[in-house]
Amino acid sequence: MKLTSLNKYLGFLILVILFQPLFAEEEIDIWNKEKKQIPETIENDNPEKNISSQSIFTNQQNNNIEIENEILNTSKEANVFGIYDPAENDFDLNMWTTTKAEDVRSSIKRINKINLSNTAEKLFENTILSFSYPPEGMEEKEFVDLKINWMIENKKIELIEKFLKQNNTFPNKKKLIQYLVDSNIAKADIKEGCKQINFLDKDIKDQYLEKFKIYCLVFNKKKNEAQLQLDILREENKSDKFFDNKINFLLGVNPKSSQKIREDNLLNFYLSSITTANFKYEPNKNTSKIIWEYLNAANLIKLDDAQNKEKIKSLEVAANKDQFDKQKIFDIYSNLTFDLNSLIKAQDIYQTLDNIDARALIYQKYLLSDNEEKKIELLFLLKDLFQKDNLSNVFTKFLSDRLLEIDLNNVSASYQEVVEKNIINEEEIRLGKIKFDDKILHKSRLLRYFQDEINPKKAQKDFAKIYKKIKKNRKYFFSAKDIALIESLAKDGIEIPKEFNYQEISKQYSVPPNLLKLAESKESAFLTLKLVEIIGEDEAYNLDPETIYFITHLLNQNNLKKIRNEILISALPQRS
């Protein structure tokens, strides 16, 4: 009986051992099925439910973006790159996703041809540099390149530094770093350039930047480390004889340096200039703009012979192309020699001279003049002489600056008009202090609401008082600017008297149908691009009232209130 029981137990144990792999295999299959279901769940999730764009910043250590305490790992999922939290301007991460890539490309191509006003440029900057997913049909790299190229083409050094600090890894990162490096070499500021090379990380393999990093080690007197890095670069076949020769000379390994000058890139040209005895270089029309900039900054352009008209002519042409310092052209003119009789009779004899001497003579005559109206006459004669040789770009800013120095109280009304027409507006808007006028709605103290100086409750009280005062004036005409302000207040919940049918008045102001369509389809980012095109070279305060109305109307449609407020505060008030 006991033996039989033992046999049964052994038989059962053998069966368990034999079937154990089958149980194990079945268990693994179950986990495989569960693992396969996970991606399906993620795919079906709505990103808008899981990702809020109220607060975004970049984690430098792991290239994550933190969004209201949630982490979006941009290295594994859809990457977003930028500078600004989209919520700062009432956008979100999906601000481009319903816009077709070709529409964005075409719009930016047109925008790049416009000399944007401060208003338009700021609007474009806030839009294109917000963290966001790319437009429909556009790859991540192309979208990043749009941002990078705009910053480089517009020389946005501070924005480039911010972009590098806030985005750890992104396509074409080395292009931005090289631009920063070259910008500082061009300014002959090697110390700052060597700071920028710290943006270079181990994942970026770029021959040019690695060479500059080695030079920075030499510059900072870390010769042993520089020699080690040079040896590694040579082992990787990333160096060349020219670079080896220059660095070994600077390290003291070679007693002499090759006198060869290379201008294929700025680093090689810079190394040529600091290692060549009695360095001399004659730039020409084929010399790159950035090398011209370095020659200017390093004071390497010399005019040994003041009578060398061909050299002077080439420098004038370079200055007209923004390759040479324009002020130095006038310094050259000052050094040309004329006798006293020629200076006295300058306006009578300048036509008998060649064009360079004629400009120089009139310029010197201007410097010697102490009469304001005479100075104006000579400046405009000089303007004509520059135009004659298609060199207007050399003189335009100079003319404006000199006219600003003239005391208009000492000249007649006819001269004043000419002077004012030829003064260029400063690049930075100097709007002045707002002067409130409660007799005109769009100039009233209600504007303080759009400056965030008063809350909605206070705005409601102010509106009631101002409207009551205006209502008494039966001749008062509600302008497009007034309607822009009223619509914006109503959009924000300020109660407008029912008796005042502002919607009916607004019907007389048309809004372009194509822009209305964008607003209705909630293509907020693309809508702002179209507004950038419309504003173009104008500041908001120079726009006509109807344009101001339909711009604010469209911004209200898409709840882009911050941008709307900036437009209103620029466009509406009277300023001192």
Per-residue three-class SS string for 511-564: CCHHHHHHHHCCCHHHHHHHHHHHHCCCCHHHCCHHHHHHHHHHHHHCCCHHHH
- Taking a C-beta distance cutoff of 8 angstroms, is the pair 540, 517 a contact? no
H runs (alpha helix) in 136-253: 140-153, 157-166, 173-186, 190-196, 207-219, 223-235, 241-251
Does 245 fall in a domain?
no
Collapse the DSSP code of 468 into the 3-class scheme (helix H, G, I; strand E, B; otherwise coil) and give the result: helix
With CA atoms as reference, report the closest residue to 568 among 413, 449, 399.
449
Mean pLDDT of 552-558: 96
Higher model confidence: residue 37 or residue 371? 371
Q: How far apart (Å, rounded) are the C-alpha atoms in residues 82 and 163?
A: 6
Do 442 and 379 share a domain, yes or no?
A: no
Evaluate whether 185 touches 267 at the Cβ level (below 8 Å).
Answer: yes
In a domain, 476, yes or no: yes
Query: Range of 346's domain?
Result: 319-421
When divided into structural domains, the chain yields a total of 2
pLDDT digits (tens, 9 = 90+) for 465-519: 999 999 999 899 999 999 999 999 999 999 999 999 999 999 999 999 999 999 9
Residue 229 placed within a domain: no
Q: Does residue 417 fall inside a structural domain?
A: yes
Residue type, 560: L
User: Are 167 and 81 within 8 A, CB to CB?
Assistant: yes
Same-domain status, 347 and 456: no
Of 398, 421, 444, which residue is a domain's last?
421
pLDDT band at 435 (very low <50, low <70, confident <90, very high): confident
Q: Which residues contact 440 (CB under 8 A, 6 or more apart)?
A: 482
Same domain, 464 and 367: no
pLDDT at 476: 94
Q: Answer yes or no: do 486 and 557 share one domain.
A: yes
Whether residue 482 is contained in a domain is answered as yes
Query: Per-residue confidence at 164, pLDDT binned at 50, 70, 90?
Result: very high
Q: What is the distance between the terminal CA atoms of the chain, rounded to a whole angstrom?
A: 116
Cα gap 29→266, rounded to integer Å: 61
In degrees, rounded to 5, the angle at the alpha carbon of residue 295 between the alpha carbons of residues 291 and 298 is 130
Distance of CA 287 to the CA centre of its chain: 26
Q: What is the pLDDT of residue 465?
A: 94
Which pLDDT score, from 0 to 100, does residue 313 have?
Answer: 92
What is the CB neighbour count within 10 angstroms for residue 453? 11
pLDDT tens across 111-154, in order?
A: 999 999 999 999 999 999 999 999 999 999 999 999 999 999 99
pLDDT of 102 reads: 97
Q: 473 and 389 in one domain?
A: no
User: Taking residues 449-468, what's their average pLDDT?
Assistant: 94
Q: What is the pLDDT at residue 27?
A: 36
Residue 74 in this model has a pLDDT that exceeds 70: no
What is the share, in percent, of the chain residues with pLDDT greater than 70?
84
Tell me, rounded to whole angstroms, the distance of Cα 529 from its chain centroid: 15
Q: Which residue has the higher pLDDT, 23 or 496?
A: 496
Mean of pLDDT values over 230-244:
95
pLDDT at residue 50, rounded to an integer: 37
Are both 388 and 475 inside the same structural domain? no
Domain boundary residue among 376, 398, 421? 421
Most confident of 64-73, 399-408, 486-495: 486-495
Token couple for 547: 């344009």
Q: For residue 413, what are its two tokens?
A: 């009304």
Query: 292 pLDDT band (50/70/90 cuts)?
Result: very high
The mean of the pLDDT values for the chain is 85
The reply to whether 172 falls in a domain is no
Query: What does DSSP assign to residue 220?
Result: T
Query: To 10 degrees, what angle do helices 173-186 and 207-219 make?
Result: 40
Residue 108 belongs to a domain: no
406, 444: one domain:
no
In a domain, residue 281? The reply is: no
